[in-house]
Amino acid sequence: MKSMWLAIWTYRHFILSSIRVEFRARFARSRLGALWMIIHPLAQAAIYALILSDVMSARLPGVDDKLAYSIYLLGGTLGWSLFSELLVRCTSIFIDNANTMKKVRFPKICLPLITSGVALVNCALLFVATLLIMGIFGRYPGINVLWVVPLVAVTLVLGLGVGLILGTLNVFVRDIGQVVPILLQIMFWFTPIVYSPEILPASIRPLIYLNPMSGIVRGFQNALLFNTVPPWGHILQVAAAACVLLGFALVLFRRASREMADVL
């Protein structure tokens, strides 16, 4: 494990330059450039807001205006988009870069770190866009918006841990790459992004919080909309589980990395 961390430090400039190269290559001939990274989640939030704002604005606790529901959606989208991007991209990262791995000698662990860097930049851009929209609506964030930073860190560890496990297994069992998008769709609707858990029957509500992203998403919404402290009791449990998953993912990846090149 020590050699892995040493390799990451040795290739840190390669990781940072690869993040920059990916952004430049992705938007080399695009007029809007990096704005495309936030247009999709913003458009999705806008669609839900237009369709559900009349219904859901009256059901958000302590909120009595329709514009607040848009911020509620953006808060949930901020956390979910980071997690889902990490999961989707890490699942296929070794297969997508198979030719590079065979032609260029570098530690394979650099690939998920590059993906994480790109996802963090996307998240930062979406966060800035969310703050701008809140300013336009006349809803300025309070001091609790600072909780977004540790929430992003927990989401990153969780997404990277699960994504690296799935990405490693997907090299050997390609069905995993087909199942992940389906599971993400199911998981999305079991996460309180477009609805508030308070509208659900009391018998169903505990099932929602079995989803580790539920507490995290609620944390983003609390920090941005309600200006309250996130539910750290649940989030700390998720953070502990995420660290265990990431540790297991690194061990699994290290043991399987030697066989990856042959399988790919």
What is residue 136's predicted lDDT score, i.e. its pLDDT?
A: 76
Rounded to 10°, the helix 110-137/12-26 angle is: 60
Residue spans per domain, the chain? 2-7+34-263
- Measure the CA–CA gap between 252 and 242, rounded to whole angstroms: 15
Helix (H) or strand (E) holding 29: none
* pLDDT for the residue 24: 73
For 49, the token pair is 């807001």
Which of the two residues, 234 and 54, has the higher pLDDT score? Answer: 234
Q: What is the pTM of this model?
A: 0.87
Joined tokens for residue 83: 């997690």
- Secondary structure of 14-49 as H, E, C letters: HHHHHHHHHHHHHCCCCCCHHHHHHHHHHHHHHHHH
Least confident of 21-35, 80-94, 134-148, 230-244: 21-35
What's the pLDDT tens digit per position in 37-49? 667 666 766 776 6
- Residues 166-223 have pLDDT tens digits of 999 999 988 898 999 999 999 998 998 888 888 888 888 888 888 999 999 999 999 9
